Amino acid sequence: MTRRELLTSMPLLAVSHAARAGPQLEIRAARLRQQIESLSAHGRPSGGSFSDGVSRIGYSDADIAGRKYVLSLVEAARLKARIDAAGNIFVRKPGTNAALSPVLFGSHIDSVPNGGNFDGDLGSLAAIEVLRVLGENGIVTRRPLEAVVWSCEEATFNGNTLNGSRAAAGKLRPGELEGVSRGLTLSESMRRIGGDPARLDETQLRSGAFHAYLELHIEQGGTLDKEGTSIGIVEGIVALDHYDAVITGMANHAGTTPMADRQDALLAAAQLTLAVREVVTQQPGPQVGTVGHLDVEPNASNVVPGRVRLSIDLRDLSTEKLRRLGEAIRARAAAIGAQTKTQIVLTQTQHAEPALASSEVKAVIQRAAAQLQLSHRSLPSGAVHDAQVMATVGPMGMIFVPSVGGISHSPQEVTSWEDCMRGANVLLQSVLALAA
Ligand code: GLV
Ligand code: MN
Ligand code: MN
């Protein structure tokens, strides 16, 4: 079948201007690119360029500037934004039947320190572009459409991921709003970006809040790029357990404290870091474990370290396997504490459930990719995403596009502009199909 035959054989979508709503309708690729480049200026290292990536930590000044830029795009699309109690940005485009639940789609714009320009940004800006292009073409779908930019998805604000989407879905743990990071409680941080955490309960997304949730995202791994496949259809997202380890030894003089008498918290942290790797690699499987953050006190070259706080990030599709890995690491921590004369307190600070994508939403994405004649495959996600929180509320699906070299959470994170456009067009067609 030729591309033309394939396109003309498509069922007409139930939208008010159906004649213009087939695959011939496309997002404006040059505009999307220009917007990704402009957003990148907010949080860019000073004197740097696009290729230097971004540090746009959730709730930071750079994040606030990036959100302001996003709001200017909403205005340019002649739409109105609503900030929910957690500071998430929602943009609704009414459908012909206001009684129906909306199709929700989006991502996040906060980044890790020294992060890339595509993680979250692509899915967020493509979501607004979808609404804009539909508006420009006079297309009104049956269901309402809602784009969302989740706040603070990355773990770099307080060590917890998915803050905005978890808050929206009523999944914050007790006391989490009072936790302090970068000098502010999570509540204060939410207020800083226009949220009102006192109203979280009132605005909570409950079952039935949306018809389906879609997220376009870069793969962040190398599967699609290695194969030369354009579109990934996510089967499921891994579970994540996050632990904080606080290791208390005794700060002492680096010149006068004999080696045998030391209670070196950093030495214990080094052993614990190795232990995490040993425990995780002891059995075959795709499970991964990372010690990615250390606070060393007093962090001075002539003082034996007295206290270290470190993060442990464990991921796998099986919650049960993560629990067992956590137990094994706890046992190793106790032994390391005894051997190094330090005290190690391990606290689990987060558990994100694994999430399976809905088979109906996967089929919609698959059909959209096929209709656009794009190569596609199913694959799991090793990165966490707001989509896994949304999967607790309603049907969820994710569209992945290739990450060059599988690099992400780095300024070297790149997705070709062609792939950005392909992913955004698959999002557009999937949204149309779900909203019909
Ligand atoms: C989020 O990007 C994560 O997978 O940590
Ligand atoms: Mn990320
Ligand atoms: Mn992301």
**Domain CATH code at residue 245:** 3.30.70.360
Q: pLDDT value at position 159?
A: 82
For residues 114 and 103, is the Cβ–Cβ distance under 8 A? no
Do 112 and 151 sit in the same domain of this protein?
yes
326, 352, 378: which is the final residue of a domain? 352
Do 248 and 215 sit in the same domain of this protein?
no
Residue ranges of the chain whose pLDDT lies below 70: 1-23
Q: What is the DSSP string of 12-47?
A: PP-BTTGGG-STT----HHHHHHHHHHHTTTTPPTT
Q: pLDDT value at position 157?
A: 84
Q: Is the Cα dihedral 33, 72, 141, 102 positive or negative?
A: positive
Do 346 and 378 sit in the same domain of this protein?
no
**Domain CATH code at residue 127:** 3.40.630.10
Do 73 and 94 sit in the same domain of this protein?
yes
Do 202 and 255 sit in the same domain of this protein?
no
Ligand 1 lined by 154 (C-beta under 6 Å): yes
Do 142 and 268 sit in the same domain of this protein?
no
Centre of ligand 1 from the C-alpha of residue 294, in Å: 18
Centre of ligand 2 from the C-alpha of residue 109, in Å: 9
Do 132 and 263 sit in the same domain of this protein?
no
Cα–Cα dist 54/152, whole Å: 14
Ligand 1 lined by 384 (C-beta under 6 Å): yes
Q: pLDDT value at position 13?
A: 39
Kindly identify the ligand whose nearest atom is closest to the C-alpha of 409.
2
Do 68 and 97 sit in the same domain of this protein?
yes
Give the number of C-alpha atoms closer than 13 A to the C-alpha of residue 382, restricted to the C-beta side: 16
Do 233 and 243 sit in the same domain of this protein?
no
Centre of ligand 3 from the C-alpha of residue 107, in Å: 7
319, 352, 385: which is the final residue of a domain? 352
Do 138 and 254 sit in the same domain of this protein?
no
Ligand 1 lined by 291 (C-beta under 6 Å): no
Cα–Cα dist 84/387, whole Å: 17
Residue 288 is part of which domain span?
Answer: 239-352
Q: pLDDT value at position 5?
A: 33
106: which 2 tokens? 């989006």
Centre of ligand 3 from the C-alpha of residue 387, in Å: 10
Phi/psi at 112 (nearest 5 deg)?
-80, 165
For residues 131 and 79, is the Cβ–Cβ distance under 8 A? yes
302, 320, 352: which is the final residue of a domain? 352
Kindly identify the ligand whose nearest atom is closest to the C-alpha of 290.
1
Do 247 and 99 sit in the same domain of this protein?
no
Do 280 and 362 sit in the same domain of this protein?
no
> Which residue, by CA, sits nearest to atom 4 of ligand 1?
383
Q: How many domains does the chain have?
A: 2
Pocket test for ligand 1, best of 220, 312, 315, 413 (most atoms within 8 A of CB): 220
Q: pLDDT value at position 155?
A: 86
Kindly identify the ligand whose nearest atom is closest to the C-alpha of 112.
2
In 207-340, which ranges are E strands? 212-218, 231-237, 239-248, 252-253, 288-290, 294-297, 303-304, 307-316
